[in-house]
Structure 1
Amino acid sequence: MKKITIIGINYYPEDSAIGLYTTQKAEHLASNGYDVTVITGFPYYPQWKILEEYKSKPYLLKESINGVNVFRSKQYVPSKPTFFKRILHLSSFTFGNFLNLFRISKPDLVISIVPFTTSILLGWFLKLRYKSILWTHIQDFEFDAASQTGLGASTPTLFKILFKVEKILLSRASLISTISNSMMQTLHQKSCAEAYFLPNWIDENKINPRTSKQHQLLGSKKTKILYSGNIGEKQDWDVFMAFCRDIDASKNQIIVVGDGAKKDWLTGEINALDHVAYHPPVPYEELSDLLCSADLHILFQKTDVLDAVMPSKILGMMASGKPSLVIGNKDSEVKQIFEISNGGLFFSNYSNALVNAVEKLMERPSSCEKMGKSARAYVLSNFSKAEILNKMTEKVKTLLQHN
């Protein structure tokens, strides 16, 4: 039986974002006859604190979860992450899991998940030690994203070094995959290694308006406008607050469901607004009910961040069969997706025209229904879980045949 080791900080019981996708990758490979080991951290995301049931566990922990061997190292998790605290967070994950490299069996294939870029360093060590194949999968060009938020201008020398390190590490992989077409273009600029398109996916049975029920958090008789996801630095919360103040409070209820580094700031800001409510994340099994109970989904990205990341929450929003409102960079792939799918409204900046467009759309239920159906049809056609994971498994098979 061929052995596969996956290295990445996010894994089950984290049930959103990268943790969800890495877990489903690992379990899919295990169900297809591979001996799968995961090297990861302690679950902490999106709350930015280690889950209560894991706090008393030993520094190095081995578990068996759904047929996958899981080796964990307890990393430092800052309650209020800053750039330099994130460096400590990254370093503690990397050092602790270097110890785990000596606790696993020889892998035939190593898959390093980025973030963190240092996962490639750990994978490279296994490649050198065991002559394993190294596959790097990029969910987020973390250095690009950090530099685009303004840090690059204030610390140019640091980022020159980081990009050089990134280039060296990427060159060590036999195969590099990433999750969007625009990120594939960025990848080609950074590396000459073989590139593979491996997008995130949606499980049409898990997010399904036909089987969903009204979620208790979205029981308002007003138009229900939902943001569900990470409350972090990649979203433009100043624009969100402007939207909350400008939308008609007598007709609209805005609901935020999630957690993250900006949660405390956001909950303080919305405290005085009766038509805006915050709730912590819901379990994954409630996600379909939550998303499908909304009348409109919103996502306000910082417009200076261009295709260093592809927000996976877009897939869930569209799969709910409800329209979405997104603000983002005018050259982003998300804009292209909305133009092709006709699944929502996309704006490149905030204005009164945006608020007017939302209010007009909400007054036309037939347009909302048509837009929502178009959105769901598009993601099921292009981001099917079964199809994407089966293609990934075939790629794994091909790689291992040549080893």
Structure 2
Amino acid sequence: MKDVLIITSYFPPETGAASNRMFHLAEGLQKENYKVSVITPLPNYPTGKIFPEYKGKFKHISVENNITIIRLWLYASNSKNKFLRLFAMFSYSFSLIWFFLWNKIPQTVIVQSPPLLVAFTNMFFLRSKNRKLILNVSDLWPIAGLELGAFKKNFSYRMLEKIERLNYKKADLVLGQSEEILTHVKTLFPNKNTFLYRNYPDFEVSKIEFQNPSEQKIKLVYAGLLGMAQGIYKLCEQLDYTNLEFHIYGAGAEQAKIEIFIANHPELPITYHGEVTRKELHQELLKYDLTIIPLLNRIYGSVPSKIFEYARLGLPMLYFGGGEGEDIIKRHDLGWIAEAGNYEALNNEISIIKKSDLSLELKEKIRKTALDKFDFNHQLSRLKKII
């Protein structure tokens, strides 16, 4: 039985795409007869506070579904203060180094990036111990940070670029969730071994619910992080509600603003449902006609994992983010597209969608596409051959 260690900054019970991605990878490898262990911080995302059941602990070890999970201390923060965020990353890096000094590390290690500094700690320290290092890149930092307006092209940005390159250089294999990520890596290191590892979900699917096409408005839903990059607050302001009701699930930095906006505009058909578990969310989403996947700005290398999750649920999509995600929606006929950041184009697209277009037949077709084209186990079997 081959030992594999996964090092990640996000893992359940935390929610979100990164947490789900690493959980499915760990679970998938364990089912394929790997001995899997995971190192991750004490749960704190997205609140920036250690979850109550883990408070006061410096290390927590558990075995869940035959996976050993080692949770290490960090200074938790989601503050907008860059120095506090940086200190939070450094604190986890220090905990990792301390763990490496006193514990045996498996020969094969999968490292999640970003955060860049945490990934660099792993790549630098473990490379000297002659481990096979696999870097799983889910977003292109610092490029994504620049496009989001979080960074400027200054000395700090150039330092992050150097760290990014060192991470790629030290990796024996780079996994990327998008073709754009792999193209970027190959541009810097043409001979680097790479593998396209999409964030395909792996869950049992429920029967698709029939929605009566004669019912009034289209039920549009957004579920996920309510952060600056998604722009849900601006979406609430800009949507044309003539033929629409809007439902929101999730939590994040814009949550309070969204709740205030809804309270101040009771005439608008917007409902905020709060945050629910992933399993509960899958059942809730089956009630809706259409989902929206927005990004405030097109981010190079980013492919929202929601595309694959919603396709598996058979949920038609309205994609509003540009880039490679837009190409996937088009190629597999998963829904509708509006130019990223163009709210007039978005409302025009919504106006041409009829309730009857969102039929049971369409939903079943989307689900079939997902089961055929976005198969987690098939992807994992190919990955096994190279790790």
TM over 0.5: yes
Q: Structure 1 residues 201 and 184 mapped into 2: Cα distance closer, same or farther (>3 Å)?
A: same
The aligned runs of 1:1-400 (5 Å cut-off) are 1-56=1-56, 58-117=57-116, 118-129=118-129, 131-153=130-152, 155-192=153-190, 193-203=192-202, 205-210=203-208, 222-237=217-232, 239-244=234-239, 246-248=240-242, 251-274=243-266, 275-307=269-301, 309-329=302-322, 332-348=323-339, 349-363=341-355, 365-366=356-357, 368-369=359-360, 371-396=362-387
CA contact (8 A) 1:72 1:100 kept: no
Q: Is the Cα–Cα contact under 8 Å of residues 5 and 110 in structure 2 kept in the other structure?
A: yes
What's the offset of the Cα at 1:26?
1.3
The one-letter code sitting in structure 2 at the alignment partner of 1:295 is D
Distance 1:326 1:152, change over 3 A: same
Alignment partner of 1:19: what SS?
helix
Q: Percent identity?
A: 23
Q: Deviations over 1:178-217 (max 9, x none)?
A: 11112211221233421111111023x434444x699xxx
Alpha-carbon distance change, 304 to 367 in structure 1, aligned in 2, over 3 angstroms: closer
**Cα deviation 1:291-335 (Å, max 9, x = unaligned):** 22111101221234222x221112222222222112123xx1111
- 2:164 & 2:309 partners in 1: Cα distance? 31
Shift of 1:353: 4.3
TM-score, normalised on structure 2? Answer: 0.89
SS, match of residue 37 in structure 2:
strand
Shift of 1:222: 4.5
Alpha-carbon separation, structure 1, partners of 2:360 and 2:81:
42
Q: Distance in 1 between matches of 2:350 and 2:71?
A: 45
Q: Which runs of 5+ in 2 are unaligned?
A: none
Cα distance in 1, alignment partners of residues 291 and 52 from structure 2: 31
Structure 1 residues 259 and 359 mapped into 2: Cα distance closer, same or farther (>3 Å)? same
CA–CA distance in 2 between the matches of 1:237 and 1:140?
21
Give the 3-state SS of the residue equivalent to 2:33 in structure 1: coil
Aligned residues: 379
Distance 1:82 1:372, change over 3 A: farther
Distance 1:369 1:243 in 2: 29
| Matches of 2:325 and 2:360, distance apart in 1 | 21
CA contact (8 A) 1:223 1:252 kept: yes
SS in 2 for 1:102: helix
Name the CA shift for 1:368/1:81 in 2 (closer, same or farther; >3 Å).
farther
Q: Shift in Å at residue 374 of structure 1?
A: 4.1
Gaps of 5+ in 1: 215-219, 397-403
Letter in 1 for 2:346: L
Q: TM-score, normalised by structure 1?
A: 0.86
